[in-house]
Amino acid sequence: MQLLRYILFPVSLIYGMVIYGRNWCYDVGLFSSKSFKTPTVCIGNLSTGGTGKTPMVEYLIDLLRERYKVAVLSRGYKRKSKGFVLADSNSTVKQLGDEPYQIFSKFDDLSLAVDSDRQNGITTLAQCVAPDVILLDDAFQHRKVIPSFTMLLTTYDTLFVNDCFLPTGTLRDAKNQKKRADVVVVTKCPAHVGKDEQARIEQQLNVTVPVVFAYLSYDTMVTSKNGKMEFSNLQGQHITLVTGIANPKPLIRHLKAMGLDFEHLSYPDHHSFSAVELKKLKRYPLVLTTEKDHVRLKDQLDNAYFLGVKHHFLGDGAAVLKKLLYDSLTHHRQSWN
């Protein structure tokens, strides 16, 4: 795989030139961008995935709904529907896509829509729902919209400054676009990262905005469509771990640290499981998977459980992020009044 990436390096150069050209056209106004009266918060990254955007959206919903009426707008990657779709009690994972469906199913009274045209999605949500704030899931590259606030996520193990363009690396946008971020969140950190290490990473990132650090906390229960079970009940069993996500490494590390005996079946991100694959998975005594994968598997497997995960911030990171968000939303409203 490494050899193939080196062979494809010239393709990365061409891809990078296209990305730089596209961003230049937006920067100088050849391509137009639009801001909206409804405040928008963009959650995104520079890479192809695996930075924890979905649990971050869920974190922000919990944080902001104390004070605001929150809506979520996503592209709905790999969904079977077209155009603007507003989720309701009859929505399916095929209509919304796995990540939006996961988010919608966890929050009562949440307004969630999918639309590949972000401008149309924001306008339609404002008309039919009138939210106080719209969270734009995975929207960093969608420059037709000027967000009120932008969160740039990057992982502790693979900082964007150490990455390179596809297909040699995982970058889908240029490193210099970090300038559009209002905060950088380093995700999937160890639970204890010292001040010296944080300072070293901030120096590497070389940004002028605040940098906060977050780690993943896994549930003590595993969940299936039929209920919950203590994670400790998995001890001593041979488990089949099934993942269709961009970066399963943190989950694998956690399961090993907990002493779980498992084999790992890894599939591409957002993988659509075939009938043959499902037949194989049904033969295993217990399948453990991620929440994103589980929304695609739960109606087809009775033996599937997922292990939930949440972001937690190191130090005063949560307070810093909350103040930045609230100040930004207040400023946005004042500027439009």
The domain total for the chain is: 2
Q: Write down the mean pLDDT value for the chain.
A: 95
Question: What pLDDT, on the 0 to 100 scale, is given for residue 266?
Answer: 95
Residues 230 and 240 in one domain: yes
CATH number at residue 91: 3.40.50.300
Residues 164 and 221 in one domain: no
Residues 170 and 68 in one domain: yes
Residues 252 and 188 in one domain: no
Structure tokens given for 248: 């399963």
Residues 144 and 243 in one domain: no
Rounded to whole angstroms, the Cα distance separating 136 from 42 reads: 5
Rounded to whole angstroms, the Cα distance separating 277 from 241 reads: 14
Residues 234 and 206 in one domain: no
Tell me what the mean pLDDT of segment 102-112 comes to.
94
Phi-psi region of 206 (alpha: psi -120 to 50; beta: other; left: phi over 0): left
pLDDT top residue among 2 and 135: 135
Tell me what the mean pLDDT of segment 3-26 comes to.
89
Confidence at 43, pLDDT banded by 50, 70, 90: very high
pLDDT of 135-153, one tens digit each? 999 999 999 999 999 999 9
pLDDT of 170-182, one tens digit each? 999 999 999 999 9
Confidence at 3, pLDDT banded by 50, 70, 90: low
Residue-range definition of the domain harbouring residue 179:
2-216+313-336
Q: Which of 329, 19, 56, 325 is closest to 182 using CA atoms?
A: 325
pLDDT of 205-257, one tens digit each? 999 999 999 999 999 999 999 899 999 999 888 899 999 998 999 999 999 99
Q: Provide the whole-model pTM.
A: 0.95
Residues 222 and 198 in one domain: no
Tokens 């929505």, residue located: 91
Question: What pLDDT, on the 0 to 100 scale, is given for residue 337?
Answer: 76
Residues 75 and 41 in one domain: yes
Residue 2 has pLDDT above 80, yes or no: no
DSSP state of 230: E
